[in-house]
């Protein structure tokens, strides 16, 4: 399926579903920003998160252990970030308040990804594929959709965001230069970003290790942002 058509189908289905799902439309942010009421924009933001996270992880799943390891860290971050909601600090905002199930769900998903990583690390014996990548993206987005923790979501998913952006920039740059110059030029040697780094001579384990370090920093930041949100 054409990528644009694929994304459009994702967004249309999600919007139809999200329009009837949410009674709460408040997004908590760190002090002093407080709470932001999105109103009718909430379903659109939620749909965007589901589509972007699912496709972002799918694009990241190109090296042994890359998507599995970074997803593990993202789930750990989100399980921490939603604690203020689940502990009842925002009891008037969300139906999941005073319940820890959502945080436990995130920790369980992190554990599942870590277990998968034992067999998916360098010289992988099993692979994630589209089904696993899309499901992980949907699970991450659902944690944000149920709590309004979109800010920590995008911080903890920084690697997925960069991978998706590299593809968008590559395609946009190629089409723009082809239109104005007559021949398309590439911004990267190859997209997504991890393939560009491979073609630049960086070894696969080094790329994955670097992504883990970067994701760890983002996970700590996202967890802190979530805990300090109102």
At 24-61, the pLDDT tens digits run 677 888 877 778 888 778 888 888 999 999 999 999 99
**Ranges assigned E (strand) in the chain:** 26-28, 35-37
Q: Say whether pTM exceeds 0.85.
A: yes
Q: How many CB atoms lie within 10 A of CB 122?
A: 13
Query: Rounded to whole angstroms, what are the CA distances from 107 to 8, 103, 104?
Result: 31, 6, 5
**pLDDT reading at 92 higher than 80:** no
At 103-113, the pLDDT tens digits run 999 999 999 99
**pLDDT reading at 136 higher than 50:** yes
**pLDDT reading at 137 higher than 90:** yes
pLDDT value for 91: 44
């Amino acid at each position: 399926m054409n990528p644009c058509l694929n994304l459009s189908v994702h967004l249309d289905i999600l919007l139809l579903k999200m329009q009837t799902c949410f009674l709460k439309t408040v997004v908590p942010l760190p002090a002093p920003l407080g709470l932001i009421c999105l109103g009718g924009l909430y379903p659109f933001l939620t749909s965007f998160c589901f589509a972007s996270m699912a496709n972002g992880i799918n694009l990241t799943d190109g090296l042994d252990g890359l998507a599995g390891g970074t997803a593990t860290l993202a789930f750990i971050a989100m399980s921490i970030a939603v604690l203020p909601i689940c502990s009842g600090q925002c009891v008037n905002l969300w139906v999941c308040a005073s319940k820890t199930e959502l945080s436990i769900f995130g920790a369980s998903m992190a554990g599942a990804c870590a277990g998968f990583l034992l067999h998916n690390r360098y010289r992988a014996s099993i692979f994630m594929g589209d089904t696993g990548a899309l499901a992980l993206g949907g699970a991450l987005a659902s944690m944000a959709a149920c709590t309004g923790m979109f800010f920590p979501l995008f911080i903890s998913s920084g690697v997925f965001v960069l991978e998706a952006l590299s593809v968008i920039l590559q395609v946009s740059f190629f089409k723009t230069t082809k239109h104005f110059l007559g021949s398309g030029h590439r911004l990267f040697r190859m997209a997504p970003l991890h393939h560009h780094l491979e073609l630049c001579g960086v070894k696969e384990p080094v790329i994955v290790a670097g992504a883990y370090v970067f994701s760890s920093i983002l996970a700590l930041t996202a967890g802190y942002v979530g805990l300090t949100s109102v």
